[in-house]
Amino acid sequence: MAGTKLRKFLFKVSMQNNIEPVIEVRGLSKRVNDATGELTILDQIDLSIAKGSSVAIVGASGSGKSTLLGLLAGLDSASGGSVRLLGKELSTLNEDERAALRSGAVGFVFQSFQLMPHLTALENVMLPLELRAETPHSEIAARARALLDQVGLSQRTGHYPKLLSGGEQQRVALARAFVTHPAVLFADEPTGSLDAATGYAIIDLMFEMNRRNGATLVLVTHDQELAERCDATVTIEAGRLVNGLGV
């Protein structure tokens, strides 16, 4: 508890001293059309997230929190406003340029794990580095093995996802997320598919690895206890920011 309070205090100090944010959002909106007409999912969101901080996005189901996460990560395009991620204005980048930005600096952990079923645990963790084609294969394999060892799966490297438990699959996903040494980690309900005991173990591991890597963590969750472990909380209600990190 003392460690959590200290991190929150340091986070407030960093915000007060105007340290350049890793993510900065102004007037962000997202609208879609359905059978009833235009639907506003997010409306005029302003947000600033400091480097090295951990921020939870909370809200009821359908409030727009996962949509916001997708926009912050450049997985989707906004209807209005701007998102700056790591100093890059996402609206000025095409799809390939956004993908290149993510591949070099962003990690993801999803509720459904998103592992490739035809690849082993080791191959799943190696995949992000292989797609970048910047690192020798032997180094890629060594880095992937080291990450799997960190998450306690050194004896499961050759197993396919279907042979792993849900907790083991999420550990593989964590190792894959950190193998590129990301500057930002986005996590969308990372324990939603796990039982409580396994979920808490995964969260402990995620926070430990995130601190070790010095990454900025942006986490979507409905779990208030988990949100309180973060430096700050952003609350979304009906597509609008009702409290959080305004700019």
Per-residue pLDDT, 132: 81
Report DSSP state, residue 19.
P
3-state secondary structure (DSSP) of residue 88: strand
pLDDT digits (tens, 9 = 90+) for 153-207: 999 999 999 999 999 999 999 999 999 999 999 999 988 888 888 988 999 999 9
pLDDT digits (tens, 9 = 90+) for 56-111: 999 988 899 999 999 999 999 999 999 999 999 999 999 999 999 998 799 999 88
Q: Which domain holds residue 192?
A: 2-243
**53, 215 contact by CB (below 8 A):** no
Q: How far apart are CA 206 and CA 213, in angstroms?
A: 11
Q: How far apart are CA 159 and CA 16, in angstroms?
A: 48
Cβ-based neighbour number of residue 32 at 10 Å: 10
Nearest to 59 by CA among 80, 45, 78: 45
Per-residue pLDDT, 4: 52
This model's pTM is above 0.75: yes
Question: Which CATH number goes with the domain that contains 68?
Answer: 3.40.50.300
3-state secondary structure (DSSP) of residue 63: coil
* Partners of 32 in the β-ladder: 39
Structural domains in the chain (count): 1
Query: What does the block give as tokens for 19?
Result: 């340290």
What average pLDDT does the structure give for the chain? Answer: 88
Read off the pLDDT band of 119 (50, 70, 90).
very high
Overall average pLDDT of the 140-164 stretch: 95
**Residue 74 φ then ψ, to 5°:** 75, 20
Please indicate whether residue 236 or residue 131 has the higher confidence score (pLDDT): 236
Report DSSP state, residue 37.
E
